[in-house]
Amino acid sequence: MTRSNRQLTQFAVRKVDEFLHSENIGSFVESQGNTEVEYHQCTGRDCLLRTLRVKLFGEIILTLVLSPTSPLTPSGIILSGGNFYDSKGRPSRTTRERLNGLLDSLGQSSFIPEGIRAFIDKDTGECRVGCGEASRPLSRKKDTVVILSNSQSLVFS
């Protein structure tokens, strides 16, 4: 797997931001290089599920679960390592780069508090998502972190 570049992270951030600030909520899939952004909505009569996904090499690394009452507002964020891990079981640098760009953008848009990151803990060497003590591990063994949308405080599910 080749190392990603900032241009592809910026592509993902731009597409998510464009979606969250637009009136167009039709399904779409757009990709550039190894990164893909897709929006799907359930079409069933009683179905209110809408998700926006970011994929890296075809594997989902971020899913925004959108509010059923306000379709352009995330109610939760699901982060994943995308099946790309280093020799210590941590998400790859490329995955962390994409996630950090997206988390930064979601923080600036007030969907989550600013400063939330995927980072390597200096004491334990593990990858964590959050900010300091308020964080959860993200690894091959614990491959999903769920954050509820709340601009004032970090809320894990």
* Burial class of residue 123 (count of CB atoms within 10 Å of its CB; 0-12, 13-18, 19+): exposed
Q: Which two tokens mark 106?
A: 């979601």
The pLDDT value given to residue 104: 95
The residue among 150, 116, 152 whose CA lies nearest residue 136 is 116
CA 50 to chain centre: 15
pTM tops 0.75, yes or no: yes
The pLDDT value given to residue 133: 85
Residue pLDDT, tens place only, 91-121: 999 999 999 999 999 999 899 999 999 999 9
Residue 88 has pLDDT above 60, yes or no: yes
Q: Which two tokens mark 31?
A: 């990709």
CB atoms within 10 A of CB 49: 12
Residue 2 has pLDDT above 50, yes or no: no
pLDDT range class, residue 29, cuts 50, 70, 90: very high
Distances (CA, A) of 131 to 6, 82, 125: 22, 21, 15
Task: Give the list of residues 6+ apart from residue 46 with CB closer than 8 angstroms, or none.
Answer: none
Q: Is the dihedral of CA 91, 94, 97, 99 positive or negative?
A: negative
